[in-house]
Every structure is written in structure tokens, then in C-alpha cells.
Structure 1
Amino acid sequence: MFSGSAVTGILMIAVTMVLGGCGREGQRPIGYPAPMPDSVAMRFLPGVVSDDSLDFNSAFSPDGKRFYFSRSGKGKWIIYVTEEQNGTWTQPAPAPFNEPQYSQADPFITADGTLYYISNRPRDLADSIPDYDIWRVRPRADGSWTSPENLLAVNSDSTEYYVSLSANGNLYFASNRNGTLGSHDIYVSHYANGKYTTPENLGQAVNSDKMEHDPMVSQDEKYLIFTSVDRADSFGSGDLYYSVRNANGTWAQAENMGSKFNTDTYEYCSYLTPDNRYLFFSADYDVKWISAQQLPWFK
């Protein structure tokens, strides 16, 4: 989601063999709308998703039939969903788990349909700290959702936002909690023995004395894309950067993703589709997409 001075907290089939385990096993085909992008980023579903409002975030359901995103309205963030019906995507409606008096944004959906998101709703009646936490809901067989669950092991009394999970459940997110190198850093909480561990800062290869947020980790944790603000090599105020995991498990020094992805404005909210065909991101108040073959590690 947006950060900084704007708003705080917003592979084609031919490369499947290259990515190996990056994709989600059992993912059903997604009915992408035409025209589909190649080497130039395009607005996604103009008039449906990319409309005359601040639209950001991207998340497809496991069956590829629903697309979730966030929209700003009436001073709050709201998660919307549009459905593919007979080749047409419906006008979006607020997702049913939104709490109208609070903000919800940054949806991420796992292969089993669990939806993670952020909200400034209080954890309980005693919670008076106006921060954003990570929450999740699970789908029921009848199409409804379970009650929102706060990820207490991950959240702090500061803001946590923009969730991305690897296939093994490790959870990446951004936070402005104590101990950051800059104003906001990227963290990971490892999933072990059915529990989330104490979050760890990804360190200086990824984080800087500036602001890093909106991490997107590949399913096999080999690649990480994120937004960083006002670095010396930036094209605009906020750019997309990437880091590749080294053989020893550490992250390589982050690099700018270049002019195919970044402009003189602000790019954020990166998302790789479950079938690895497209990279989505947000910019210019819209949701955009581009062929994943344009990603730097294929050049």
C-alpha cells in the first residue's frame, strides 16, 4: 500500500521450467481479460478495477475466478472483489469481511484460500492504539468467511502492513516498529511447527536508512520485490527493487528493477500471479500488469 508522503501503508508458460517451484501447485487457469500485456505495463481492467479512484493491491482467488484489490473511499480503505462470469469481470463490490467503520487493505490469498489483509480495527475492546495489524480470514464451504483473526505473534504496537507468504508459510511484511534501519523496513516471520516465529529484519541488503515496504516474495523464496523510497538510483519518489536469495540463504544487495517497471512517480504493491505469468503493481492511482518475462532475472 502507499507509504511516505502519499499515504502510509499501499511468467508466461514458457518460463515455468525456469522458475521451477515458484508457482502454486494445483492453481487453476485464470481468465485474464484481453488485451494482455507484454513488455509494456498496462492498466488492469480499466473501468472495473482501475477506475477514477485510488485503486491498489492485487490478489487472485485459487480458482482464478475472483480478483481482490483495495480502493480508497470516504476516508477509508476498502477491499473490493470482482468476479469473472462467462468471460466478463463484474463491477466490484466490497468484500464481506470489511468492517465499515475501519480500513481494510493489502489482501493476499494463499493456495488454500486463506486471505490475509491489514486493518486498523482494534484487536479487542481494550486496544486503543491506532495502528494497522495483519489479520486473516478463512473460506467456509458455503462461500462465507470465518471471523477475522489477528496474527498476534507477528503484530506489534506499531504498524504492520502488506503481506506476502511463501509456499512454506513464511510471512513477509513491512513495519515501522522499533529497530528499523529506516522509517519502515521489511521483516519475515518464519512458520515453524504450526506457529509464526518472532519477526526478523531482512537486514541491510534489502532495507536502508530510507523507507522499504510492500514486499512480494516468490513461492520458493528465491526472489523478493519491494518498494523503496528516495534511493539515489530511483526514477521517482518510490521505485520497485528486487533481491535474489544467495546459495547460503542470505539476500543479495537489492537492485532497481529499471525503467520497464519504474517511472518518475511512485510504484508499489507488487504481486506475481499464482501461475507466474504476470507481475501486477500499482502506480498512478491504478492497478497495472506486465508480462513476468520482463523481470530482471530473465534478462
Structure 2
Amino acid sequence: MIYSRLILFLLIINPLMIKKMKKRNAFIILTVGLLTILIPLMLPAQNNLPYLGQEPPGMTAKRFPPDSLLATGDRWWHGSPVFSPDGLEMFWAEYVHYSPTDEHTTMFTMKVEDNHWSPIRHPSFGITEYAENSPFFSVGGDTLYFVSTRPGGFFRMVTRTPAGWSEPVALQVPLSPGMGVGWEIAVNRYGDIYLEISTEANPEPDIYVSRYHNGIYQMPQSLGDEVNSEYGDWGPFIDPDDQYLIFSSNRPGMIGQQFDLYISFKNADLSWTEPINMGYEVNSTGAFFPYVTLDKQYLFFNTARTGDLGYNAYWISAEIIDSLKTVVGIQEKIKSSQLLKSLKNSPNPCRSQTTITFELEKAAEISLIIYNQSGLKVIDLIQNETYKKGTFDILFDVSKLPSGCYNYTLILENGERFSKKMIVIE
């Protein structure tokens, strides 16, 4: 843009015009014009936009950090960035290789000052000699929680004051003997702390919550079989109003490597829905350390994809959560049927293919049909074929379908029909 203005200026102030001016006037005009164009080139570009001024993502996950914050061989992201409610202050943690005998997590921060994002700094309350991790803003942005190995307590918080952040205060969260606490915490608007805990009886971590009641943290309680599995479940993010929980797990059905993100929604009776995989767009290479911004616009997570030298932060529109809520809302248990025991598909949402799985209690003739939201038939996957008793997987190529919501309907020989929804994304 600036270069096009320069060319236009030189075309306008051409030699023929200069000859018609007095030399001094021509020199002044040229000088002022050139300075007007060139000065912006010499000044740093203003960037006072939320989220470091990065281009927001849609329903396709994007790498978040600018080049200066990308993972290297000596340091990589160990958690998602967390932002103040206005998106103009950021905290995050990195796993840093300081020396052959010293590597641990360290917190960093940046904020908008004088209409520019500041340089990278250590928080005023941080101590780099200790491992510190999992910064987490309260809903109002006036409190920041984190964990630290400094003496005096693992769970900490600081509050915002007119002079800056306060000194850290240790939170007295009771733990039973044999409880091992993980590195990730999340806090709802009521002050309840969600955390990962392993025990001697169950070395694989599970998700727990320590309720904050009358100014006292209660003994952490497991979220139970509704959320946890016999596999590793860890790294929780909790919606401020407890409406949904996102966490990492290596339970069967993973799409990526090591761990995938799963989401569970709170039912009206305060129970949790069965966790579902968050789909290929999030989990194609595995994912962990989820975080949803306080404006509920974006979901952040950590992963390493092509070109990454280590784990980096990625982000995607939080609309993916609403789409998954739609899926969960219709994935109820199969009503009483003498023939069909279960019906589901995975991944959901899906972008290239999905597998529809059904289990028959006895041999039956069935049809399996895909419909769009207008109720029009898209394709017959199975048409009046007989299947034996057992579980069957039908691989469905969705790559040529427009993005949107579809129904897959299983029709049994006795006339029973069972439908589920699936989301196709680009």
C-alpha cells in the first residue's frame, strides 16, 4: 500500500511540473511528500488488537503463535495461552531446556501497552527457579490461578491491584495421602478447582473437582464413571458455568497420537453426558491442554503438526463446541428394541470419512440411509440386507458432501427406525 502511494506521488510530481515551479517550492513539496510516505515505513506497525492481532480461525484449526513464539528444540508450549476478558493480556507456560541438568516449565506474559503488545516477560510474581504452570484467569480477569513447586503450597493465586499483580497466595486444597496431582487446573466462576489426580489404587489420572464452599476448599471428588475411564483422563478445562468439560484422554477410539480431546456436557439433572471425541479437526495429531477464551469465541489446545519443532498452541472457532452439543443432544441411548442394541458414528464432526457402528441383538434385515436437514435422501448405504447378530462398522466417505448437519437412519425389518445426527465440516 505504501509503495503504491509512493509511485503515485512520483507520477503526479513529475519533472514537467517541477520545471513550472520555483526550485525551492518544488524541493519543499517533494520533501514533505516523501516524508509523509516514508515515515510509516520506519515506525513499528501498531498492534493493539486482541489475541496478539493474529488472524482469527474458523472451523479449521490454525497454528496460533507468531514466529517469535514458535516452539524450538529447546523450548515448547506446555499449555494453551490464557487471555484477560478483553484479550489484551496473555499468560502462558513453556517447557524450557535451560541446561543439560535443568529443564522445567516457566510462565511468561505479554500485554498491550501504549498501543502495542509488550515484549515477552516473566510475570512479576513468577519465580523462574521453580516449575510453574497452568495460568488460568477468573471470569472477571481480576484473579489469576496457577501451580508452582515453590515451598508453601502447590496451588496459587494472585489478584489484580492498581499497582499490578499481588504477591501469590497459597490455596489450601486438601489432599488425601497417596494422591498425586497433575500440572493442569481449571476454575469455574464459583472458585471450584478442576484438576487431575492419580492414586496408588488408580495410577492412571482421573478428573476431580475441589468445591469452594464458605471460603474453604473441600476434599477433591472424582467426577466418576460418567467422565473418567480406566485409561488416562487429564488436563481439564471447565466452562465458567459448569456447562461443559473438555479434557484429554487416551481411551479407545482416539483419532490422533498419545491423547485426544473429549467433551462432556452437563445435563439438566446435573449429571454429565458420555464424553465424545472432538473430531478430526482438533485431534488429527492428538491434542491436550484445552482452553476456551472468556469471550467464548475460540478454543485453544496444544499439538505438534507438520513443520512444528515442538508442541505449539493451535486455535479454532468455539462454534465447534456448539456443533458437538447438537450431536450429544441427539445421541441418547437406543430406546427399547429387540433387535438394535447401539448406533453411533465416529469421528463426529467428520471431514473426510466417518465410521457408522451398529450392534444387532439378533440377525435382521436392515437399511441404512443418509438424509440432509431438509429430509431429502442423500445415499443408501445399506438397502434391505441381512446382517447376523454382532457389531458392524460401515465406513462412509463424506468428502464430497457439503458441510452441514445430516441424519443417518437405521431401518429394521420390523419397521423400527433409529436416527442420529452427524456434522460434516470442511
TM over 0.5: yes
Letter of the 1:147 counterpart: P
The residue that corresponds to 2:123 in the other structure is: 95
* 1:283 counterpart (270, 287, 303): 303
Listed as ranges, the matches of 1:193-232 within 5 Å are 193-232=214-253
* 1:239 counterpart (245, 260, 277): 260
Q: Is 1:70–2:93 an aligned residue pair?
A: yes
Q: Is the CA contact (8 Å cut-off) linking 1:139 and 1:146 kept in structure 2? A: no
Offset at residue 89 of structure 1 (A): 3.0
- TM-score, L = length of structure 2: 0.57
Q: Does the C-alpha gap of structure 1 residues 92 and 204 become closer, same or farther in structure 2, counting only changes over 3 Å?
A: same
Give a deviation string over 1:73-92, Cα, whole Å, max 9, x none. Answer: 12011010011346643332
Q: What is the alpha-carbon distance in structure 1 between the residues aligned to residue 270 and residue 69 of structure 2?
A: 37
Letter of the 2:320 counterpart: Q
Point out the structure with max Rg over C-alpha. Answer: 2
Structure number with higher relative contact order (C-alpha < 8 Å, ≥ 6 residues apart): 1
Q: Is the CA contact (8 Å cut-off) linking 1:49 and 1:92 kept in structure 2? A: no
Greater Cα shift, 279-288 or 58-67: 58-67
The residue that corresponds to 1:36 in the other structure is: 56
Q: Is 1:116–2:136 an aligned residue pair?
A: no
Q: Is 1:166–2:194 an aligned residue pair?
A: no
Offset at residue 63 of structure 1 (A): 4.3
Offset at residue 136 of structure 1 (A): 1.6
Q: Does the C-alpha gap of structure 1 residues 48 and 82 become closer, same or farther in structure 2, counting only changes over 3 Å?
A: farther
Give unpaired runs (5+ residues) of structure 2.
1-47, 305-310, 327-422
> Where has structure 1 moved over 6 Å in runs of 4 or more?
none
* 2:84 counterpart (54, 61, 74): 61
Q: Is 1:262–2:283 an aligned residue pair?
A: yes
Q: Is 1:107–2:128 an aligned residue pair?
A: no
The residue that corresponds to 2:294 in the other structure is: 274
Q: Is 1:249–2:277 an aligned residue pair?
A: no
Give unpaired runs (5+ residues) of structure 1.
1-28, 125-132
Offset at residue 185 of structure 1 (A): 0.8
Identical columns (%): 27
- TM-score, L = length of structure 1: 0.79
How many aligned residue pairs are there?
261
Offset at residue 293 of structure 1 (A): 0.9
